[in-house]
Structure 1
Amino acid sequence: MCPGSFDPVTNGHLDIVGRSSRLFDEVIVGVLINQSKQGLFTVDERIELLREVTADYPNVRVESFRGLLVDFCRAQEASVVVKGLRAVSDFDYELQMAQMNIGLAGVETLFMPTNPLYSFVSSSLVKEVAKWGGDVSAHLPESVLRRLVDRMESTRS
């Protein structure tokens, strides 16, 4: 299970999904539905983009979920959560989540260090730079970049 909001999916996300797909028979990309947060892309749009950019991985499927990740893992019969770590600050937060998940449901967490090329990339940072017209093309798959640029242009009008 590779969970996240993926708003939008970045090359860093894809690196973790792709590497996970080589380790496991099946990888589920779980798109969190968080009704208290308004995303730039709808959940359906994020799922569509993820399915498009993970199409080359036959053992990856994309699903959405709400509520506790461990409940979704149980329902999907997923026993491992894979989380990419960009920095020590990620580890501090993710370790607490991993310990809670093992305690709640016996779901293990595998921490995967992010490729240094993507160590500073986050969806939030990409959106912020794109909002002000910065070039984020190195950080997004081409199809995601097109959709992001279109979305930013439509919000400026």
Structure 2
Amino acid sequence: MKKLWPWLIGIGIFVILAMVLWFGLGLLRYSHSPATMMGDRIRSYGDYDRYWTYRDRVSSSSWAFPMFGILGMVLMVGLPLGILALIVMGIIMLVRAGKKSDSDTMPAAPVQPVCPACGQEVQQDWKVCPHCGEALEN
């Protein structure tokens, strides 16, 4: 159980950072429109269309970053899939670490009796300790 908590905390921090990055970039969606660059405020969502032309819409993505061709496609598809793969792999590793195999658990060693006087190990059927000569109780 001691190994489980650091993993859960680490995965939790990773998920929170991923969500901040994912949703944080989504907040930049309209930051590069001509209206915001010139300092003009958009009064409502419907007013946005009059500032954004078709040409601008084609030249940039919905994340307000221009598409970089293949690199942009790889990043937009690969990043979320990579994050998802890391989360799944972390969960699988946690499940495997939680299971104990039979080879990991060893049977308890039989308890060997000891002499009450000297503390040396003695056999079960002995009547007298060979180390100190004290009488043993059965």
Tell me if TM exceeds 0.5.
no
TM-score (norm 2): 0.23
Rg (Cα) greater in structure: 2
TM-score (norm 1): 0.21
Instruction: Flag the structure with more relative contact order, 1 or 2, with Cα contacts below 8 A and sequence separation at least 6.
Output: 1
Structure having the higher strand fraction is 1
